[in-house]
Every structure is written in structure tokens, then in C-alpha cells.
Amino acid sequence: MITAPILHTERLILRSFTHEDAPEVQRLAGDKDIAAMTCAIPHPYEDGMAEKWIDTHVNDFENGTGINLAIVLKENDKVSKPVLIGAISISIDKIEKIGELGYWIGKPYWNCGYCTEAAKVILSYAFDVIKLRSIHAFHIGRNTASGRVLQKIGMQFEECFHKQVEKWGVLEDLVKYNIKNEQNIQN
């Protein structure tokens, strides 16, 4: 079995999810404000959904079609043990060598820079190790915080798709950003 990497930043550990994470995933992702800002997270977040989602990760990584990592706050003077605060992923098109970045951060951990920190390290991994040519990301138009994360990690605005996705009966704008791996484009 091939295992996903463990990535480190100054404040975070990005590691594979385990079933032990499921209750915290359900609690954090189950917050209506988290679901409201994403296309894929349902609300309510029912029992068993987290385990089912976690079960898909190993096959995605082994098949080279995705990497899904837990974002964990390292032990520090404020927390006595690592704390799960969110998730980050890259879905991979192996033929085209492109990826799609996705993430969520639990509401108690918003506005601390954790998402930007996690996104930088997973982008480096995707470009340097997986050798992707480019990575794109989408965010719901009214989720401007997500747009700021994408800008901070060097992504460029590409296009706004007006009223593209339906969320809870309302058509929402979908904004696309992209970043190219200049080193792999030349090869």
C-alpha cells in the first residue's frame, strides 16, 4: 500500500485522515457556515459521511487521482496535543498533469492564516513531487476569504462563471484561479 506524505509547516502537520478523525470532521465540516461556502460539503452532515469520505482517500492516492490531507495544528503553548482544524486536497488528472485544489478550515480556526500555510506546502508537493503542470481552484463568488487565500499562494484570477452552481436553491457565481508550474512547462 502506498501512503500519502506527511507535510510540515511552521504551525501545521498535513497528514492522512484516519477514522479517529471522523467525529471532528463531522463537527467542523458540519457547521452550516462551512457548507454554505463550499460546493461539495452537504448540510446537514450526517453520521457516517465522514467515514465514507475518509475511505475514498487511500484509493485516490494509490491511483494517482488525488491527495486528501488533514490539516492539524501542531502542539504548542496553546494546545497540548495536535488538533484537527480542516482538510486540503488536490484532485489529479494524470493524463493532463493538472490538479484542482480544494480545502476547508473549521470556523474556530478562520482568519489565522492556516489555510494559506497549508495550501503553500501542498502546492509545492504537487509541483515538485507529483510534477503537475498546473493547478486550478474554484470558490463561490461570495466567499472572498477563499479568493484571498488563492491570491496569497500566487494563483491568478482566470474567470468568473456567473450563476454557475446551485447552492441551497440559489445560483451562485463560481470564480476560477490558476497557477502554472513553470519548471514543468519547460520540460
Mean pLDDT for back-to-back runs of 10 residues, the chain (187 residues): 85 96 96 91 92 94 96 81 94 97 96 97 97 97 95 97 90 96 62
∠ CA 31-49-90 to the nearest 5 degrees? 80
pLDDT at 187: 45
pLDDT of residue 45: 92
pTM of the model: 0.93
Q: How many CB atoms lie within 10 A of CB 35?
A: 19
Q: What is the pLDDT of residue 62?
A: 93
Q: Are 72 and 85 in contact (CB under 8 A)?
A: yes
Q: What is the pLDDT of residue 184?
A: 57
pLDDT for residue 167 = 87
Contact 91, 65 (CB under 8 A): yes
d(CA 121, CA 138): 18
Q: Where does the chain show beta strands of DSSP type E?
A: 7-8, 12-15, 66-73, 83-93, 98-105, 134-140, 156-167, 170-180
Neighbours of 155 (CB within 10 A): 22
Report pLDDT for 39. Answer: 86
pLDDT at 186: 45
In the chain the domains, ranked by start, together with CATH numbers, are: 7-186 (3.40.630.30)
Question: For residues 159 and 184, is the Cβ–Cβ distance under 8 A?
Answer: no
